[in-house]
Amino acid sequence: MFLFTILFGLFMDYHVFLLSHIREHYDQSGNTNYAVAFGMRSIGRLIAGAGLFMVAVFWGFFTGSLDGLQQMDFGLGLAIWLDATIVWCIMAPASMTLLGKWNWYLPRWMEWIRNVRFEPSDDAPVAAPSDD
């Protein structure tokens, strides 16, 4: 269970990187294939590099002498490697390309989610510059 919770947090990190970038370009172009290709071209290396870095860290701990830590770090390293290479660099773009506009489908009762943005509004207070 401990391994699963750590992996879930690490997997969601890649999910946010890739899908938010793809969604941003889909909103601009309206073309899923273009958005997926652009997202993979710009973020794919980041995901692969971050995954490789995490694998190196976990497998570095694997060389230690504690059996429990070796087992956990081998499992974490293998799962991160599979997630970063197979899932996010191959399966996610392929499935998003096949699904097309269905990637962005929401039931009517959830349409309010499309309008949620995390940018500050124009009338948000701005701090005055200091004289220092």
- Show Cβ contacts of residue 75 under 8 Å, excluding neighbours closer than 6 positions: 3
As a whole number of angstroms, the distance between CA 102 and CA 104 comes to 5
* Helix (H) or strand (E) run with residue 56 in it: helix 32-62
Query: Per residue in 7-63, pLDDT tens?
Result: 888 788 778 888 888 988 998 998 999 999 998 888 888 888 888 888 888 888 888
Mean pLDDT value across the chain: 83
Query: Per residue in 71-100, pLDDT tens?
Result: 888 888 888 888 888 888 888 889 999 999
pLDDT at 121 (0 to 100) = 64
As a whole number of angstroms, the distance between CA 132 and CA 32 comes to 49
Q: How many CB atoms lie within 10 A of CB 14?
A: 23
